[in-house]
Amino acid sequence: MSPRLAGPLLALLAFGLYACHDAVVKILGARYAPPQILFFSVLFSFPLATMLMMREKQASTLRPVHPWWVALRTAAAVMAALCGFYAFTVLPLAQAYALIFAAPLLVTVFSIPVLGEKVGRHRWAAVIVGLIGVLVVLRPGSADLGPGHLAALGAAFAASLVSVISRRIGREERPVVMMLYPMMVNLLVMATLLPGLYRPAPFGDMVLFACVALLGFAGGLITIAAYTRADAAVVAPMHYSQIIWAAGFGTFLFNEPTDRNTWIGASIVIASGLYVVLRESRGSSENTPVTSGRTRPELPGTPRIANAILARANRVPPGHVALANRDRTH
């Protein structure tokens, strides 16, 4: 199979796995509170993270090079995961995706203060049109608006902040640092919330918790394989295919048919995101905040352990080297 075809097909497979990940979260959400789902999914991610760290050949430290940026990124990651899991459990999947798909547009906005980018009128127009699409989904004034919609928007906001900070510090921070800190804080925060929410889980549900971790990990690995075979501008738009999976899962698993406003609003948001990707692929953005990510865009879910694998493959300088360089300059 030609690499040009293999890349998009692998991306479609990966984002299909991510959609399955979110569907399992929704299934568990009918019986368990989001903090419990997130706690166990992160807990089952630790063996995968441990195996990854054991393969590290370079000695280094877990001390962050940019502690304040890492702290802000960690807090945003916890918010994105918790808000995202809550949105998936209470909203139709397609509606949750339509709102969370605004994250790449918000990345464009955050790239100004965080990355120092200059955003031209074309991308500003795309952001404004995309936000109009969000309003079409939300239908302001509708009696159907609830905490789930606010959670989905909060997840998009936090996920976009995670993504931009990752691109600011990702060339200096060790990938294990960027993976481990959010995992640890997620686990600790969810553990503090569990006493009033915990429900005993039978073995079958524990398997589903483990599936959430495995699906996220497998999706990350396959996405990396897609990016090694095709350009980012070809692979990145494939993540919008999740709306098709969401519509299917909603109809056949959850009895939640996708309404017309969600389709219209999602189409506007997706079109705006694709336009931003197209502009960046033509070299109009030095940092390319939307298309440069090599795993799933930083949407809520289990920590993307595969990010560490990709960063190592890209030969990111060890964190202790960057830390030493920073200390010498201060």
- pLDDT for 165-218, tens place per residue? 988 888 888 878 888 899 999 999 999 999 989 999 999 999 999 999 999 888
First-to-last CA distance in the chain? 52
Assess whether pLDDT exceeds 80 at residue 84.
yes
| pLDDT digit string, tens, across residues 243-271 | 889 999 998 999 988 888 888 988 998 88
d(CA 83, CA 90) in angstroms, rounded, equals 11
- Segment 307-316 shows an average pLDDT of 46
Q: How many CB atoms lie within 10 A of CB 5?
A: 11
d(CA 271, CA 279) in angstroms, rounded, equals 12
- Mean pLDDT estimate for the chain: 81
Signed CA dihedral, 149, 154, 157, 161: sign only: negative
Q: 170: closest CA among 26, 323, 317?
A: 317
What number of CA atoms fall less than 13 Å from residue 104's CA on the CB side? 29
- No. of helices (H) and no. of strands (E), the chain: 14, 0
Q: Given 3-state DSSP classes, what are the helix, strand and coil percentages for the chain, each rounded to the nearest 5? A: 75, 0, 25
Domain ranges of the chain: 3-329
Q: How many CB atoms lie within 10 A of CB 78?
A: 22
- Segment 150-171 shows an average pLDDT of 89
d(CA 212, CA 37) in angstroms, rounded, equals 9
5-14, 225-234, 283-292 — which is least confidently predicted? 283-292
Higher-confidence residue of 158 and 297: namely: 158
d(CA 127, CA 271) in angstroms, rounded, equals 10
What's the longest Cα–Cα distance across the chain?
A: 60
pLDDT reported for residue 312: 46
What's the whole-model pTM score?
0.83
Confidence of residue 81 (pLDDT cuts 50, 70, 90): very high
pLDDT reported for residue 151: 95
d(CA 40, CA 31) in angstroms, rounded, equals 14
Confidence of residue 323 (pLDDT cuts 50, 70, 90): very low
pLDDT reported for residue 65: 86
Confidence of residue 289 (pLDDT cuts 50, 70, 90): very low
d(CA 262, CA 101) in angstroms, rounded, equals 12
Higher-confidence residue of 182 and 330: namely: 182
